[in-house]
Each structure stands twice: as C-alpha cells, then as structure tokens.
Structure 1
C-alpha cells in the first residue's frame, strides 16, 4: 500500500503533494494544540486547596495527556505550555499555525525562547513581529533560528533573552554529553588547583605499575587510571601478556565501592569473555615473538620443546575462566544456544548473536565496553527469578526489587520513559489486599505513583507476564508491556497467576495524605523567571561596563548614570 500510494505520479505532482501534506501536518498540529489549550483551561484550576499538592491539577492533566499521546510527564507538560502560550500570549502566531504557514518545530522553538517575557505590551509587539517573520524561518538551521528569535526579543526585552552560554559556564563539573558514543562518556569541568595536583599524582602513581610492553597508548592508560580511581582500586593491571610481569595481577572482582547493575544476556557475557581471551592470547603471542627475536640463537640441543611453546602461547583466561552464566541477566540460558540464532546466511558465514547489555538508564553497553568492565573486576551474577509464593512484607526484598526493575526497565505508565532505577515499586492492588509478588508489582515514577494513588478515575490491571492494562479517567484504554521485551525478547517474564483480589475500601482521609509542595507551581515558575531575568540584567550590565572601560572615565560614568540613575550600580 505505502509503495503504491504515489506510484506513477509525475515529479511536479509529487512536489505538490509533499507541500500540501506539510501544510496539513502543521494544521493538524495547530488543532491538537488548540484542543490541549482547551483541555488545560477546563481541567487546571488554580485554587488554594489544590495548588500546594505535589500531584496538582497540572500534573493530573499532564498525566492524562501523556497517556493519550504516549508521552512522558515532562514532554506532555511541555505540550501544555506551548498550547497555553499560543492561546494566551501569541494569538496571531497561532492563527498562522492554524493556516499551516508555520511549522510545529518553529512554533515550539519560539514558545521556548520567549518564556522569560512577562510584560503584556512586549508580548503584543513580539506576537505581531513573529506572526510576520516566522513564516520565513522554516528554512533556517536550528542555530540560525535561535539567533533570529533572540534578535527579535533583544529589540523589545533584552532581559528576556536566554543566555545559555552563561548558564553552562557557571556549572562546575559535567559527566556526559548528548553527542557521546555508547562506549565512552565525556567528563569535563573545573576543580581546585590542589585537587588537580593530587589527581595528577594519583594517575602517575597508577601508571608506574604498567610495564613498557602494555599495548595501550598513554591517553588510554590515563583514562583507565581514572576509572581505577573512581572504583577505588589499588592498582591498574598491566596488559603486557607476560606471565612474570609483577603488575599483571587482575583487579579483585567487586572491589569497587559503588555498585551498578548491568543487565546482559548470556550471549553478551560469552562474547565479552571471548573478546578478553582473544586480546590476551594476541598479546601473549606478541610477547613470545618479541622474546624469540631478542634472545640469542640457542644451540641445537637447547631448542624449545613443544611443551614450552604451548606454555608460552597458553590462554590464562581459558585455563582459569571467569564465572560463566548470566550477568545480572534476565534472559534464560537456552536463548543463548547457537540453535536459537538466525542460522547460516547465503554467504555460508554463521551469524552469531552477540547479545545485549544495558547500563542503568537503559543505555546500550557495547560488548567491548562490557569486556573492559569484566577486566576491571565486575562480578557476574545470575538474576534471581521469583517463585509462586509472595513475600510476607510490604517492602519487597532486594532480589525481588531487582527482578521487577529488570523486567520493567521504565515506569509502567503509558508513554513514560523514566528509568526503573528512579521509580518506586508499587503494588497494583494495595497491600495487604494485594500481595508482595511480581505479578502485583510494577515500577512507577513518583509523579505517576502519586497520580494512581490519589487521583480519581484511574484503573490498573496487571497480567502475570507483566502487561499492564490502564483505563484513564476519560475512559481511554492503554496497554504497556515490560521494557525488557524491547531488549530481551527471548525472556519469558511470566510469573505466577494470583487469585482474585479484593480492592481496599475507600479511605476517607486519602486526600489529606497527599504530599505538599513547599511553594506552588505558579510561584516556582515566577521565581525561575525572575531569577533568570535578574541574571541576564546583571550580565548585560557587566558587558556594558567592560565595553565602556575603553572610553574616557567621564563618558563611561555618564552612560552608567543614564541607565541606572544618579549612582552607578555596585559591581
């Protein structure tokens, strides 16, 4: 159907169809935003009774919207803010959006970049300018689009320009960037000079343990040394491959002071161990070849025996293998057998399943990085699988919680993508009416946990395989499946089927138990805008002072007095 939709159409007809579809796509997005704005208007009520609830009216509406659009709480809230901005602050831009003359990407960027504007007259001026100019911004790159929007804001309200560079420069230390590959994470920032000296000395100390035959270059050695410092290891193992090297002793498994769980199926663990064995074997062979070149030619009777050759080319990983099995793995062992793989390709080469490994946050860990973790002392453990009997307490045990988090991987609310390690483990049927058993437990982020507990109209049912059936207050039906199904499709997550459970009686004091905010959502938003505007004003004043520093003192003082009154501001 898809490949035949425009079969035989001429190029001009295809271009016209693309243009028309782009306009209709923008119009559909505008209609969706208008519906969201009306939903917010009819469901979000700012009142003294509910404003200080953690799960307030805004959060409840965002939850229901996220379920319908399969969006997480933050993204659903962002859609609501765009809709409110178009309805209340940018009505002329909204009209262009409804006509399909402005794309959703441009509208979204405009609403975000203008969030610090507070004056109604400025809003009116910006709305008129944006409605005219935004129609020509669709062809701009993201950087150019941001520049065009900021330039327009600068004309009418300089303090409302978002100064991202100053905000980023004010942070002190960073771990990870959005462009990082899966294997590595960028770390950058500033530390005290004395701490930098200590760090450099510690790295140099660890590098002394390596001999000159270690195959890593100096940059890789320093990176490995920092990893050893993070894991509080007392030495950095050498990888020269020489049996007699004093620095070749491996790090003790589980020696790190901070423990993270890596989910990996048996195929991934086996592939990592095979990679380690191959690297060690290659390095040992290089060492043996180097020794053969440097040693003097032996006499005939002193020629190496086959036993000595075998010893020098031996594989310590194979002779003393690491523990095999599942590395915190949810996948059953039979799935790792070659028979379960894709078989033989037409080329005659057997395709081998290398498995999957996941870091916390559901980030893919490449096999080469998993091998490095095992080399660094990562312990390999088999994920505990629950039996039919429930646990006798409200709080699940550590091993039961690990199973539930490994099965779910994310918050089980429709569209939510909060990783399981940041979620609560919730009883579907509240304890003690529902047992502490995996068939009655799933992961929910704190917001959706509060919504399920305190909001009216939500219904939830969980099947033994972990599938959760939701019904929203509006009657919409949604289904979510365990996140592990996406990454470990061979894992059967089915646990024991529970007998019918009675729902608890209504709690008359339920709403009184709702957690309270320290200040309302509106007050927090106003405080953020005020703080960022003040920061921008200070930055502009400092920049002006630096620019005027090249001028005669009398001129600079006159300019500052014109801006700030009789006395210059304190710097």
Structure 2
C-alpha cells in the first residue's frame, strides 16, 4: 500500500504533488507508529518479560528509551509517542487502518486517542472506532477546537458518560515557564491564578521594584521583571545598578537556598573597569602605499598590488562604510537596561534599501556567551547579570591527573564532570547534569574514578544501563575527550558528545587514559531493580474500575 502511494506521486506537480506527498507522509508516520507498538510487543514476548513488568524501569520504559535514541528525542516525548501507538493499535484498529492509508494526520490520531481515553466499555469502544473510521473517509478541514468537538459528538453517541468536558476556569489555573530556544537567554512565564493572589503578587512586584534608588538605569517594566526573579531567588530586596559607591541599595541581596547553575568563562566575568576601551578606528589618511621594505613580510604581496597615483582605483558612488563599533564589557552590561537605541541614525525615508536591510552592529556580541546547566544558551551580558550576588566556583580541568582512589568522585572532579556534560549523556536525554548520577562507564572497582571514565546519567538511564545492559542490552564506552558511544540491544551505535563542547571546548580536552582491570561478565551481582507494587496494566485497570 505504501509503495503504491509513493508510485502515485510520479508525474505530479504543484498542488497535486503536494496532496500526494502529504498522504505519503501520513502513511510513513503510520508505519513509524506501528513499529513502536511492535517493539513493545516483542519486549513483552521475550523471556522473563512478565517479571520485568514490575521493575521500576519496566518493558515500556526500556522500549521508550530505544525509541528516543533512534529518533534523538527526549524520553518524555518517546514515551508519549509509544503510548499513542499502543492506544491506537489496541483500542482503535480501524482508525489505524485509515491512518495507514495516509488519509488522516498524526495530529488527528493523537486527538482521537486523547478524547477517547475515557471510553472503557468494549462495545462502545468498537462502535466509536467504526464511526470515526467511516467519518474520516470524507473528513473536511477543521480547526483544533472543532475537531475535538466533532469527536466528542461521536463519543457522546456511544458513551455519554465518557465525553471529556471542559473544566471550570478555576480548575484550569496553572503556571508555565518556557525557556526560549532562540539563544536570547530569556524565558516567558504564563500564569493563571486566583484574582486575589494576582493582586497580592502585583503589589509584591511593586514593593520589590521600589527597593532600588531613583538612579537605577532600568525602566519600570525591567524592574518588575527583575523583581519577579528576586521572588524566585527568595530575596527580600533587589540590588541597585546605579553604580554609586554611597548607594545603600547597591549591596547584593543575601544568599538563599535557591540554586541555579550557570557555566561561564573567566574573561566574561572580568572586571569591566580593567578592560581596555575599544575606540572606533580612525579614518585612514590618503597617502601612497608604503615602500615594500616597510611592509611586514606577510603583507608585502598585498602592498605590491596596491594602486598608485598612476593607476588609481576606480571611484565608487556608494557612501563610505560606517566604522564598526566594538562595545566594551561595561557597555555590553549596560545595554541590558534602559530604553533601547534607535534602529537607524536618520529618518526612514532617507535610507537606501541596503541601509534599511543592514542591522545595527550588535551590542551583545563581544562578551563570550555562557550556558545554564542543561545546555540553555546565555549571552555573556546576561551571564554577568546572573553573577550578581552569586557564589562563584572555579572549575578545574583534571588534565592528565591520576584517578582518585575511591568510588565517589571528589567535589572538584564531580563539578568538572557536570560542567563538561551539562545534561544526561544518554542519546536524546536533556535532564540537567545537576539532576544526574555521576556514573562509572567501566564499573568500579574495575574502572577508575577518573574523568575519562565518568559521565552524567539520569537515574532512569542509569537503571537502564545497569539492568537492561549486558551482552544483549545497552552498552557504553567512553573516550578521553568525554565522547560516549552507546550500543543499543539491536547493535546500532549512538554517539553523544559533551554538552559543553560548542561553547567551552577547553572542557573537552583529553584527560588521562583509563587503565582497566579485569571486568567480570556481570557486575550486577547483589543488585536488584526497584520494583513497582503493581504492573502498569493492573494499575490502569484499577483506575478504570474506580472511575
């Protein structure tokens, strides 16, 4: 069927080709979803799977980890896709058949699974599956809201008690924090809360913003935004940025129990007063080229080719290039506050097309950028702002230092490993290194406690490696520069590099080569996987019975 859909695209163009390839895309996605469900079936059919269903990291978790590695997606995303695949092929086989023909999209399939989750009666479920499969044959374009309501109509026909109705607005209160992925170092907070709590929060922001002196350069909006950060850090005042030595509000707020890890370099946090000021280059005087004997050796060839008075360079009507402005570190830090500079230095009507399309030279580009633990990018100026009142710990590269003679690494070595890796080193996992275990790639005591044998792995993937590992399971090996090569149960390899390699390549300099002792075939003797009280299936059945 899929090959027929691909063949049908031959000779098509324009809207016809778009429609044909969209159907091929849907059918390919259906094959991908079916493969996920088949992988879980294979895991359940394997010897000993019944016992592993009560493991803390059960069959579904193991298959989700394999799916995540194969697609380079996070474990949460992989688990969600696997649950959609299982629900589709176990509960909606006729809808799955329509999906395989490419007639519906994955987004519609997810909506069907989510909206039909509360239908538990087998007869009602079969009837719903048939109604939806028949309706999707001539399904017209609908918005997300209209799609959900249309599916709810079918659910109401077969099982009126299973319609997922909208909750009241009070039950829908929530707070969402979205860290921007555009490298700006900013985040957006969206909150829906009780009106009286919102009023109290508004007053709290206003009071905190008033703890700085009138000479602070920030605008009212910037002060309220920074007051939000002060509340998050648990402080009762804000540090004033006026720069006056006699300002009583300029003292840093007291330290709190809130910890946010930011990795940066020494030159980013250097004292701005000690940095030399970069002046715009002076215009070059009109003079003939210097004699060859006065030109440095590596530029003599260019000087010989320079035009002389007898061979003048062609004149150009274009305006002279604007000198490049290189801000000092102090100017970069100041660029975060106050009103922004104008986009152009003359009225828009006087600009040429080239000038209008040329951006103003960046003011936040000279300072070396930083990163939060977890890999989020931070411009250098924002990293400097984060350092106000913070405790600064120097990270020491171990170089070729010998291994430590103990199981748990010292704080200095563990800090280096976390800053080098930034996240869990399993393929696709983005758990921050601060929430991970520092794992020995070659198990202790056969492998040393050294940087070349240590990496950050979250608890989920630590258990996966330990209890789903071995000759036919997940295996890993580590190189001196921190690169980790994972081998999946099917023999495929996945390579992960330290999260700091792009911004801080110096942290990935090779460390001492690992000296390995005899490693036994199994190193899990005496270890037991944490177990569930019930399997997922039994817990699901208990929930359905209570409902």
Partner of 1:188: 191
Count of matched residue positions in the alignment of Structure 1 and Structure 2: 452
Q: Secondary structure at the match of 1:68?
A: helix
Q: Quick one: distance in 1 between partners of 2:94 and 2:380?
A: 53
- Tell me, in whole angstroms, the C-alpha distance in 2 between the residues paired with 1:506 and 1:239: 59
Flag the 1:479–1:246 CA change in 2: closer, same or farther, 3 A: closer
User: What residue number does 2:283 align with?
Assistant: none
Q: CA deviation at 1:460?
A: 1.3
* Partner Cα separation in structure 2 for residue 429 and residue 164 of structure 1: 52
Deviation of 1:432 after TM superposition, in Å, equals 0.8
- Give the equivalent residue in structure 2 for 1:15: 15
Extract unaligned runs of 5+ from structure 2: 1-9, 278-328, 334-357
Q: Retained in 1: the 8 A contact 2:43–2:49?
A: no
Task: Give the equivalent residue in structure 2 for 1:382.
Answer: 394
For 1:419 and 1:474, the matched residues in 2 are separated by 28
Secondary structure of the structure 2 residue equivalent to 1:431? coil
Q: Secondary structure at the match of 1:44?
A: helix
Aligned to 1:37: 37
Q: What is residue 546 of structure 1 aligned with on the other side?
A: none
State which of 514, 520, 535 in structure 2 corresponds to 1:498. 514
Give the SS at the match of 1:43. helix
Residue 121 (structure 1) shift: 1.5
Q: Greater shift after overlay, 468-477 or 13-22?
A: 13-22
TM-score, structure 1 as length reference: 0.68
Matched, 1:356 2:374: no
Aligned partner of residue 63 in structure 1, secondary structure: helix
Q: 1:155-194 counterparts in 2 under 5 A?
A: 155-163=157-165, 165-166=167-168, 169-170=170-171, 174=175, 176-177=177-178, 182-186=185-189, 188=191, 190=193
Cα distance in 2 for residues equivalent to 1:368 and 1:152: 55
Separation in 2, partners of 1:26, 1:504: 48
**Equivalent residue in structure 2 for 1:478, among 494, 513, 530:** 494
1:544 corresponding residue in structure 2:
none
Match of 1:78 among 77, 80, 103: 80
TM-superposed CA distance for 1:202, in Å, is 6.4
Residue 439 of structure 1 and its aligned partner are, at CA, apart by: 0.9
What is the RMSD computed on CA atoms of the aligned residues?
4.0
8 Å CA contact 2:420, 2:508 repeated in 1: no
Aligned with 1:358: secondary structure?
A: strand
Q: Which moved more, 1:151-160 or 1:459-468?
A: 151-160
Q: Equivalents in 2 of 1:486, 1:517: separation in Å?
A: 40
Higher RCO, 1 vs 2 (CA within 8 Å, ≥6 residues apart): 1
Cα separation, 2, equivalents of 1:170 and 1:277? 57
1:86-144 residue CA offsets vs partner (Å, 9 max, x unmatched): 32221211111221211223223322332232111222122122223335558434344
Question: Structure 1 residue 403: deviation in Å?
Answer: 1.6
Q: Is the 8 A contact 2:55 2:530 kept in 1?
A: yes
Instruction: Show CA shifts across 1:149-207 (max 9, x none).
Output: 334334333443445645x843776352478984244263658979986x778666655
Which aligned pairs between 1:472-551 and structure 2 lie closer than 5 A?
472-489=488-505, 491-506=507-522, 509-510=525-526, 513-527=528-542, 534=547
2: CA distance, partners of 1:399 / 1:222: 37
Shift of residue 396, structure 1, vs aligned partner: 1.8
The answer to whether the 8 Å contact 1:390/1:437 transfers is yes
Match runs of 1:254-403 below 5 Å? 255-266=255-266, 268-269=268-269, 352-374=365-387, 376-387=388-399, 388-403=401-416
